[in-house]
Chains A and B, each alone.
Chain A
Amino acid sequence: MAFGFCNVLPFSSFLDENENGLRWSCMASHRVGPVGETGLSDSGPSNPHVPYSVFHGSNVPTSFINQEGSAFDFRELEEAIVLQGVKIRNDEAKAPLFTGRPAATLEMFPSWPMRFQTTPRVGSSKSGGESTDSGSAVNTFSSKAEVQLESESPISNKASSSDHQAFDHQKHLQLQQQQIQQEMANDRSRAGPSQNQSDVKAPQEKRKGSGGSSSTSEKQLDAKTLRRLAQNREAARKSRLRKKAYVQQLESSRMKLTHIEQDLQRARAQGLFLGGCGGAGGNLSSGAAIFDMEYARWLEDDHRLMAELRTGLHAHLSDGDLRLIVEGYISHYDEIFRLKGVAAKSDVFHVITGLWMTPAERCFLWIGGFRPSDLIKMLIGQLEPLTEQQLVGIYRLQQSTQQAEEALSQGQEQLQQSLIETIAAAGPVIDGMQQMVVALGKLSNLEGFVRQADNLRQQTLHQLRHVLTIRQAARCFLVIGEYYGRLRALSSLWASRPRESLMSEDHNSCQTTATDHLQIVHQSAHNHFSTF
């Protein structure tokens, strides 16, 4: 900010002091600028929108600041200015800034002390009571028309004409700012003192009413207390307004939430219906949304069924009873493959790119889902003890899944190659459209690959059930469920991991991070390790 004024004292130094010790300086002067714009700005000293033209005088502030003997309450000043600004804004459509008023601002800091008056807080949007009370605490000028604070000290004249205010050098700046504000207010109607008097009428009256003692010190004390009171009221009012705004926000969010929940219920019901009809109707995005909801419900069922498996295993149920539970779990998986098939019909990209999965699961994505051979690899260590025959069966299963995966991957690769050629084939517009149509036709093959991949996954799970005994199968599915549960948990843990500062370079910080993660994992993932 190019204010000569600011060279006098650094801005930050003012922030360091407490409120009472806050010395008026650039800060306050900054306030003057955007008063008409900001209106109810906050009381913090953080307004960067200071018009460049406001303070040209560089010599004046020094003398002014030196004159300041005691602590200045900036907040009050600021609020007074703000209120004045709001009043101005309410009074006029446009709040004129300091365009073309360099002369006035230059003259704002004369070398002589200036008189001041209470700020007119009437007519603003504030409550009447507020303005009545606080008006007396803020000083202002009576005259705006002539902000000629030069040799003739018109302020004093105005002060005398509007009120008999004792001069308090603490309020110099306040005075000046008020003056400028009033000047702004009266930009169009340079009615002179009368205008200003009407502006300051109420506070003047209040000032008078507050006991027009002629003694400076009395007024000073009085004014101080009154100022503080006004400040408190202002702060209270602001926080009331803030609270109101917040409550309104909460209310609207609540309404939105209930609406969304209702939509969700409706869509869920529709999803069931549409799922039964084979995914008929709906556009692509709705198919994806429906599937996401169905998948979320499937996950809930998964938790429930896994709990059943767990209790079934621990309770040492008979094979027959356990078989029922295992069959139920396999049907549960059949269901998700069916749902994926329906979803692939309406939105194949959603399914094949795994948008419905958590990021960690998506890491291992293969044609819209998990890779069956990866699953077998994971299970081989967990299923012991196995008989010789079972081991052979498992290894055969591993080999056949690998061969099938390889075949499907190569088929998909050929599809991609063919698509690349089709899309890249340049030609005139008509031919280009033709190529697009051809490409569309080729894209439709994606659904077939998703179906075949899901088919492979389904067959793998069925085959596992056949190779293993019923108890082994129960344990196997529990392991699978917990494995993917952990993968999903990994995604959320990763998303919420503490971001260590990138500044530290030593390895210890990495160790610390890992330890922190370990603690998080221990706290949240206890049940994931029960079966393993």
Chain B
Amino acid sequence: MKEMHGLDVDPLTDIAICSGQTEAFAAAVFALIDPGDEVILFDPSYETYGGCITMAGGIPVCVDLDPPHWTSDPNKAYEAFYCQNKSYNIEQVLVCIINYHRKLYGIKTAGWRVGWAIASACIASTIRNIHTRITDCAPAPFQEAVVTALRIPPEYFELLRSDYESKRDFIIKMLAGVGFRIQFKPQGSVFVFAELPESCLLSDVEFIKESIKQAGVVAVPGCRFFHTMPPSDKRPPADLSYQQRYIRFAFCKSDATLAAAAQKIAGFSDARGRLKLF
């Protein structure tokens, strides 16, 4: 944390080691959310967040990021914080940041299930107490291995980043080449959120079904990452059809797999090189 973000975090009081980032999030939510508490999420968001908040009796309140560059409109955020009949003392609002196991993703061991939450001591303490009641501890041998992983010299991660950047560029070029609209190049993560062109009449789910059946390539429909909020006085009905137009492709795959996917997609394209489904 010090090396990456310049933050002085106390290892004895400010950290809860959990069974993966999923459990770190669950522990944080159960530790802090009372039934009826609202939790603001920025949409599109990972499906687990909303489900976990709901399971704890909380209410997910989604603030839409605006396509195509997923920018946040301050007015929407303001509206989420200050709704009709409610007012909040802003100091009471907790902002919890769950640190992705960035370096674990970097050492490609997502299946080891070691993650963590970092927060001020007054919150981290509670997260730890609840975590021990959900899974007791993260797998012990892998906690030891993660210590080694976190001490890998920065050069390894530079090489890794450059490797993933190439994969990202490869997949973007390939997808754009067959007709996907890529208006936003991902700045991080291992995913591309590609938009179906207007000429494609299929929804995201329909497209993926056809892609599996006909091209033999799997991706994830984007609709699962959007949570439609009901319109209100301050939230007029909006055109949310874009929420069924996105496909999430992962590029955390070997070069051979990415090349094979490109080949299958090419085989599923017409003479102009556009996907037949478009």
| B is bound to A | no
